């Protein structure tokens, strides 16, 4: 069981002081960084990245890569229909690298036939086997944990995801839609651990314990805990950093400062906290594969992983990278579940059907 040592946050706020410091030190760090940050790539040139992730969240990393290599990154944000777009473009597609914010979306790209093996020694050395495809078709770049936000007055010891179906939580649980990828992945992990029958029973119990209809986003969970609508709620770790870094006196700051964070595990012996990823795959018809591999190698290097932590509050995939101070104090390291991400992806459709079967979102 490995420990996560960093965190993540999809926020569009300007880069803060910690991130600015990281950026200023990045050039110095890269000058002496190990070979993983200096993968062979043509001097200059360019590559094209299609991403389902907001560009503002990764631009500091892309700018640092360009500063290091001289390679320009042309970034295209594709909110929906990434697979369909790349398939329609076919062999004439300009895309070199595909980036998503959910392992299921990465697997969809592979199964859709629009990727090729990464063939990167740097990625294999930096990223644990459980966080990349065995055949090299994709790799994780950063992680987020599916944790529990809780009322600060709640006296809670060790807690399991399965415990949320206990009647003692009736009317006290909040979450976003069960069909959101963050929750579908959690249900898929539950199926992998506990089987479909027990997971269905769990979903029915969880639904019975909801304090409101599954809706909104993860930050709304913190809002509704402060509002007395619920006591606990499922949410991603990076939003904690996002809320706590908001302007003092703002609603988001009040929500972040007004909750505690619990790190649940599964009932299965030796399990850990559920994590999902942002990740990338090399496009099948990449015009600039060497440049794309160089970018991947950079993104899993120590200085880039540190930047992931300090700008996005994410957990790095590379061991030994320090947590952002906000995440360190609010959550700390997380013992990640060792269930391979491919197992989670394999049960996604089953999970989605089960969520509909119990009418979770209705």
Sorted by sequence, the CB contacts under 8 Å of residue 90 that are 6+ apart come out as: 285
Task: Give me the pLDDT at residue 311, please.
Answer: 85
Check pLDDT > 50 for residue 330.
yes
Range with the lowest mean pLDDT among 43-47, 207-211, 265-269? 43-47
Spell out the long-range contacts of 14-20 with Cβ–Cβ below 8 A and sequence spacing 24 or more.
15/60, 15/311, 16/245, 18/310, 18/324, 18/325, 19/60, 19/307, 19/310, 19/311
Q: Which residues are annotated as a binding site for Fe cation?
A: 238-239
CA distance 265 to 242: 23
Task: Give me the pLDDT at residue 156, please.
Answer: 80
Residue percentage of the chain with pLDDT more than 90: 80
Check pLDDT > 50 for residue 167.
yes
Check pLDDT > 70 for residue 305.
yes
Residue 117 tokens read as 């093996």
Q: Please write the tens of the pLDDT for every residue from 306-317.
A: 999 998 899 999
How deeply is 87 buried, as exposed, middle or buried, from its count of CB atoms within 10 A (0-12, 13-18, 19+)? middle
Query: What is the distance in angstroms between the CA of the first residue and the CA of the last residue of the chain?
Result: 37
Give me the chain's average pLDDT, please: 89
Check pLDDT > 90 for residue 187.
yes
CA distance 144 to 336: 10
Task: Give me the pLDDT at residue 57, please.
Answer: 86
CA distance 49 to 47: 7
CA angle 166, 169, 175 (to 5 degrees): 105
Check pLDDT > 60 for residue 207.
yes
CA distance 290 to 161: 43
Beta strand 173-174 with 3-4 is unpaired
> If you average pLDDT over residues 96-121, what whole number do you get?
94
Sorted by sequence, the CB contacts under 8 Å of residue 82 that are 6+ apart come out as: 50, 52, 98, 100, 105, 109
CA distance 93 to 75: 14
Residue with tokens 């007004």: 258
Check pLDDT > 70 for residue 48.
yes
Task: Give me the pLDDT at residue 304, please.
Answer: 95
> If you average pLDDT over residues 228-247, what whole number do you get?
96
Q: Which residues are annotated as a binding site?
A: 238-239
Task: Give me the pLDDT at residue 3, please.
Answer: 42
Task: Give me the pLDDT at residue 43, please.
Answer: 58
DSSP-assigned letter for residue 148: E
Topology of the domain covering 144-272+338-354: D-Maltodextrin-Binding Protein; domain 2 (3.40.190)
- Top CATH class, 3-143+276-324: alpha beta
Polymer length in residues for the chain: 362
CA distance 58 to 77: 11
Q: How confident is the model at residue 291 (pLDDT cuts 50, 70, 90)?
A: very high
How many CA atoms lie within 13 Å of 95's alpha carbon, on the beta-carbon side? 29
Answer yes or no: are the C-beta atoms of 351 and 280 closer than 8 Å.
no
CA distance 232 to 153: 11
Check pLDDT > 90 for residue 38.
no
List every span in the chain annotated with CATH 3.40.190.10.
3-143+276-324, 144-272+338-354
Check pLDDT > 60 for residue 342.
yes
Residue with tokens 């400062």: 257
Residue 213: other Cβ atoms inside 10 A: 12
Residue 185: other Cβ atoms inside 10 A: 24
Beta strand 139-151 with 259-262 is antiparallel
Sorted by sequence, the CB contacts under 8 Å of residue 249 that are 6+ apart come out as: none
Check pLDDT > 90 for residue 13.
no
> If you average pLDDT over residues 55-70, what whole number do you get?
93
Task: Give me the pLDDT at residue 114, please.
Answer: 98
């Amino acid at each position: 069981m490995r420990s996560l040592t960093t965190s993540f946050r999809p926020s569009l706020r300007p880069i803060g002081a910690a991130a600015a410091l990281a950026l200023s030190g990045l050039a110095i760090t890269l000058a002496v960084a190990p070979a993983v940050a200096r993968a062979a790539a043509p001097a200059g040139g360019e590559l094209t990245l299609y991403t389902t992730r907001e560009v503002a969240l990764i631009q500091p990393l892309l700018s640092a890569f360009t500063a290091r290599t001289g390679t320009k990154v042309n970034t295209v944000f594709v909110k929906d229909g990434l697979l369909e777009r790349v398939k329609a473009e076919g062999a004439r597609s300009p895309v070199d690298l595909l980036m998503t914010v959910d392992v299921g979306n990465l697997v969809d790209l592979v199964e859709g036939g629009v990727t090729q093996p990464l063939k990167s020694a740097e990625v294999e050395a930096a990223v644990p086997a459980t966080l990349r495809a065995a055949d090299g078709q994709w790799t994780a770049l950063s992680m987020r944990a599916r944790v529990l936000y809780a009322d600060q007055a709640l006296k809670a010891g060790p807690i399991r995801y399965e415990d949320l179906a206990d009647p003692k939580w009736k009317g006290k649980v909040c979450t976003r839609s069960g069909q959101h990828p963050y929750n579908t992945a959690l249900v898929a992990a539950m199926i992998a651990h506990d089987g479909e029958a027990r997971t269905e029973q769990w979903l029915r119990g969880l639904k019975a314990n909801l304090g409101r209809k599954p809706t909104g986003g993860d930050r709304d969970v913190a809002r509704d805990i402060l509002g007395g609508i619920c006591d606990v709620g499922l949410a991603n770790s990076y939003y904690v950093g996002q809320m706590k870094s908001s302007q003092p006196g703002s609603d988001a700051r009040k929500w972040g400062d007004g909750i505690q964070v619990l790190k649940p595990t599964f009932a299965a012996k030796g399990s850990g906290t559920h994590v999902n990823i942002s990740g990338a795959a090399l496009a099948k018809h990449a015009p600039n594969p060497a440049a794309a591999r160089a970018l991947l190698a950079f993104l899993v290097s120590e200085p880039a992983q540190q930047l992931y932590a300090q700008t996005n509050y994410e957990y790095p995939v590379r061991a030994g990278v320090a947590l952002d101070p906000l995440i360190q104090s609010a959550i700390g390291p997380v013992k990640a579940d060792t269930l391979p991400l491919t197992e989670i992806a394999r049960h996604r459709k089953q999970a989605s059907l089960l969520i509909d079967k119990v009418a979770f979102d209705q």
